[in-house]
Amino acid sequence: MMQNPYIPYPVDVRDIIVENEAKDIKTFELVFHDEKDRERFAFRCGQFAELSILGAGESPIGIASSPMETDHVQFTVKKMGVVTSALHNLEKGATMGVRGPYGNGFPMKRLEGSNIVIVAGGFAFTTLRSLTNYILHPDNRARFGNLTVIYGARSPGELIYKYDLAAWAEMEGIELHVTVDAGDDDWTGLVGYVPTVLKDVAPSADNAVAVVCGPPVMIRFSLPVLAELGFGADRIINSLEMRMKCGIGKCGRCNIGEKYVCKDGPVFTLEELRHLPQEY
């Protein structure tokens, strides 16, 4: 009997972390009711799930926790519309649903053995944070080369995963650069747009792959910097957002050309994107 891909797995909200000063980005830590569901949900970095709130609907959200964290799964959600607002109204202990994991995820075989440069802006950091934690895990670290993470937000209050940023700053095996567009009285770190910091850091393109996620303007200015540093289009990886409904390539909504962002993506190399219509 085939599994019904439209039925969400029931999960409990074990914890809610308010990530930013504006209080409109929250991380939800979810625990599956059923162990079998948790096993079925085995996921890779870069995949997403449809978060389901009965009565409100569903929203496709990138998975924010590393696959190595096996007893829960985390999603970081910005409050934008009907479903995300309903999510934000949930309290600890509430029950909701998760469908997935969907999408192609990051190309881990390509990333293994390479130096990784992560370039992230604002709220799009979520799946890259999953990737960073995955790489840093002792079981995995040796399979990857150097890890450089450049992450920025509009202001110090808008940085998310501050607890991870603090922990990473103390670790070996990761070169971390955190920046803000504009500092405040307490901020002692870097000030500058992500593309500018990227240019200053100038990570080597030698045997390196860049993974870039952020607001369109950040991506637009980061790509030329990467190109100048010698990153070929097939060594620059993006994760796209698109309006979705089914998440499984049937409802016809999320295509870019012949590719469905939910199935053939959301992760694409720049090389692949150049072959697709500019319709996103």
Partner 1 sequence: MSKWTISKSDVSGFLDELHKSYQVFAPLRREDILVLERVSDQDSVVLDFYNTKQAPKEVFFPRSEVLFSYRDGEVIPASLSDERRVVFGIRPCDARSSVLLDQVFDAADFQDPYYVNRRQNTLLIGLACNKPLSTCFCTTVGGGPFSTDGLDLLWTDLGDRYLVETITERGEVLTASSSLLRQATEEDTTAKAEIATAAEQMVSGPSTEGVKEKLDGMYEDPFWDEVHLKCLGCGVCTYLCPTCHCFDIVDEGRDGRGQRVRNWDTCQFSLFTHHTSGHNPRPTGKERMRQRMMHKFNYFVANFDDIACVGCGRCVRECPVNLDIRAVIESITQIGAG
Interacting residues toward partner 1 by CB under 8 A? 2, 4-8, 10, 54-58, 80-81, 84, 95, 97, 241-243, 245-246, 248-253, 255-258, 263, 277, 279-280
Which CB, 194 or 256, lies closer to partner 1? 256
Q: In which residue are the tokens 């959200």 written?
A: 61
Output the smallest distance, CB 54 to partner 1, in A: 4
3-class state of residue 222 by DSSP: helix
Output the smallest distance, CB 130 to partner 1, in A: 22
- Non-local CB neighbours of 266 within 8 Å, separated by 6+ positions: 46, 48, 62, 103, 104, 239, 240, 241, 242
Sign of CA dihedral 220, 222, 227, 232: negative
**Residue 279 to residue 22: CA distance in whole angstroms:** 31
Which CB, 17 or 248, lies closer to partner 1? 248
Which CB, 57 or 192, lies closer to partner 1? 57
Please, how many CA atoms are within 13 Å of residue 75, restricted to the half-sphere of its CB?
Answer: 28
Which CB, 29 or 58, lies closer to partner 1? 58
Output the smallest distance, CB 183 to partner 1, in A: 27
Output the smallest distance, CB 81 to partner 1, in A: 4
The Cβ of residue 127 has, within 10 Å, a number of other Cβ atoms equal to 26
Compute CA distances 146 → 129, 203, 229, whole Å. Answer: 16, 10, 16
Which CB, 138 or 252, lies closer to partner 1? 252
Output the smallest distance, CB 163 to partner 1, in A: 27
Phi, psi (deg, nearest 5) at residue 205: -90, 0
Which CB, 156 or 247, lies closer to partner 1? 247
Which CB, 84 or 132, lies closer to partner 1? 84
Output the smallest distance, CB 271 to partner 1, in A: 17
Strands, E assignment, 35-105: 48-53, 57-62, 73-78, 95-102
Which CB, 113 or 216, lies closer to partner 1? 216
Furthest C-alpha separation in the chain: 61
**Residue 76 to residue 49: CA distance in whole angstroms:** 12
Q: What DSSP state is assigned to residue 4?
A: -
Output the smallest distance, CB 20 to partner 1, in A: 17
Pick from 129, 134, 149, 131: which is nearest to 194 by CA? 149
Output the smallest distance, CB 240 to partner 1, in A: 10
